Structure 1
Amino acid sequence: MFCQILRDADKLDIFRVNVETPLEEILNVTTEDIETSPVSKKVLADAILCRNCDRRFVATPADHIVSHISLVFGLVYDESIRIVKEQGYLDQLLAFRSKNRETNDAMEQVRGAVHTFFSHRLP
């Protein structure tokens, strides 16, 4: 149980860091790379199925964003999910907009998956 609490707390902190630290710095890429990169099919498939993304398939900056968002699906405790919603960091990650139309379409699907996940986990 303690390990699960610790892991949930770590995920909450990852959301915070991904908002407070520029993605260019976290991923060591340019803004252009972030704004134009695609989301890989396998990464998107995991997210749509409300699963943590398999890190072996994370290849692009947009994949990293989706994989960080997908950490929400691994939260064990409903209280952790309430805290995620309250803090707003996940919402800021979900607000990512790309210059790549397919990436924007993928992000819309990810937002839908997160919304569905929340509606099933919280009353």
Structure 2
Amino acid sequence: MEKQELHIDFEAAKAAFETYLDEYDRTDDKIHLKIVHTYCVVECAEKIATRMHLGQEDVQLAKIIGLLHDIGRFEQIRRFHSFEPGTMDHAVYGAELLFGPEKMIRRFVKEDTFDKLIETAIAKHSDFRLEGISDAHTLLHARLIRDADKLDNCRVKLEETMETLLDMDEATVGASPISEKVWASCLAGESVLSANRVSGMDYWVSYLALYFDINFPETWQIIRENHYIDRIAARVPYSREDTKEKVAHLVAALHQRMKG
């Protein structure tokens, strides 16, 4: 069977995305964070796909998924001024926004060749575990957007103010304990369930634990090159000795995972 080609005009898609963003308050710190994040995820997706030596069609497809992956976040922020999953499943909402009756996706991509792939990758990009995808091409892009999203979150956790991220300062985060369920996930080498996070430190170690769920060695390579794990861990002043020891253990486990 002859492979279908996808012709994506990324600059046109970007212009349409900018028009969409005009509906929101760009001066809001959380809106601004997500705009910057979106374009950085596009860059990360392109970087990972290129290092994987994927063809240009897949590189462009990865970029368009990166551009649209968090489109649901902007409405979540406007309604709730929060990133908390309990307020809205932004990934599912974004997929419904794009592929619902109004077919907003046509503003960004004129062809419908890979609609199902794009919809699935966006809807599942923030799932706790990536499951239920049997098509190999769709699975590739679902994994790729998850890696690109996590890769840029390294930058986000280093550049954004703690108040924007967690509505508290570094010292408050560092003085809080790690909850039992959260630490059990860390010890198991798993991402942390959002519902189990209670303290500021729960959130911070969950940001590190999500790197247990990296799919491609090319992504790990970029994380290693930028020393992201150590830099994220070092950002918070740990005033509790037990927390300091646990974070050191977590960092060591992540370094071991990076080695494969």
TM-score, normalisation: structure 2: 0.44
2-structure distance, mates of 1:83, 1:26: 23
The one of 66, 71, 74 equivalent to 2:213 is 74
How many angstroms apart in 2 are the aligned matches of 1:34 and 1:10?
23
CA distance in 1, matches of 2:249, 2:186: 8
Between the two structures, name the one with larger relative contact order (CA 8 Å, sep ≥ 6).
Answer: 1
Counterpart check, 1:52 vs 2:194: no
Give the AA of the match of 1:113: A
Once the two structures are overlaid, the 10-residue window that deviates more, 82-91 or 14-23, is 82-91
Would you say the 8 A contact 1:40–1:58 is kept in 2? yes
Question: Does the 8 Å contact 2:171/2:237 carry over to 1?
Answer: no
* 1:92 counterpart = 2:225: no
| Amino acid of the structure 2 residue aligned with 1:19 | L
Whether contact under 8 Å (1:37, 1:62) holds in the other structure is yes
Alpha-carbon distance, 1:89 to partner: 2.4
Q: Deviation per CA, 1:68-91, whole angstroms, max 9, x where unpaired?
A: 111111111111111111122222
Task: State the 1:50 CA deviation.
Answer: 1.2
| Equivalent residue, structure 2, for 1:62 | 201
2:243 pairs with 1:114: no
Q: Deviations over 1:82-114 (max 9, x none)?
A: 111112222211224401112112112212211
Q: CA RMSD in A?
A: 1.4
Segments of 4+ moved more than 3 angstroms: none
Aligned counterpart, 2:162: 23
Q: Percent identity?
A: 27
Conservation of the 8 A alpha-carbon contact between 1:85 and 1:91: no
- Count how many residue pairs are aligned between Structure 1 and Structure 2: 120
**CA apart distance, 1:24:** 2.8
- Aligned AA for 1:5? L
Q: Equivalent of 2:241, from 88, 91, 101?
A: 101
Q: Is the 8 A contact 2:229 2:251 kept in 1?
A: no
Structure 2: state its 5+ residue gaps: 1-139
The residue matched to 1:47 in structure 2 has which SS? Answer: helix
Counterpart of 1:31, as a letter, is: E
Residue 9 (1) aligns with residue 148 (2): yes
What TM-score do the two structures reach when normalised by structure 1?
Answer: 0.89
- 1:26-68 deviation per Cα after TM superposition (whole angstroms, max 9, x unaligned): 1001333112011112111111221111111111111111101
Deviation at 1:116, TM superposition (A): 2.1
CA contact (8 A) 1:24 1:34 kept: no
Q: Which has the higher helix share?
A: 1
